[in-house]
Amino acid sequence: MSGTPTRREAIVTGGAALAAMAALSGDADAAEGGLKSELLFDMTATLEAPQQVGATHEGGRSIFYATGGTIKGPKVNGTVLPGGGDWFRMRSDGIGELDVRATFKTDDGALVYTHYKGVLNPTTGYFRTTPRFETSSEKYQWLTKLVAVGVGKAGQNAVSYQVYHIL
């Protein structure tokens, strides 16, 4: 081998070095690809009766508008503002696709916009979302820099989520 490594050798050596650094740093989850999470907040939103657009099966869409709700967590507390909603579509295979946009106001007055996609399997109860956050508040900028997953549950004219920060 010459003094200058080939591109392939540099990639292989670099990958091995990163894995070794992760192992030495004690971050076994990073080295093994595991996930950890912590609860961000519980959210409950009240909903108007849906507007039905097309058939309720085979691609039918239901639009649910939020009328209010609460956000309660260790670092974020507030109120879900009216006006957001879910542009929900039931696929022909029985899986629901969520397309949600909403704003909440924190107890200290900051506005946080959230938008997310998700899936709902009514047969098994599997209900997951991937929220993203936007805000102009300096205090809550940390929300814009993380990956979150919501575990949902639908109820009568309401929906609730436990939203987790993926570490």
The total number of structural domains in the chain stands at 2
Q: Considering the entire predicted model, what is its pTM?
A: 0.78
41 and 15 in a common domain: no
Query: What's the one-letter identity of residue 151?
Result: V
Do 87 and 25 have their domain in common?
no
Q: What range does the domain containing 114 cover?
A: 37-166
Whose CA is closest to 84, among 64, 70, 105? 64
Mean of per-residue pLDDT scores for the chain: 86
Across residues 18-32, what is the average pLDDT?
47
pLDDT digits (tens, 9 = 90+) for 123-166: 999 999 999 999 999 999 999 999 999 999 998 899 999 999 99
Q: What angle do CA 118, 120, 122 make, to 5 degrees?
A: 175
Per-residue pLDDT tens over the stretch 36-65: 999 999 999 999 999 998 765 567 899 999
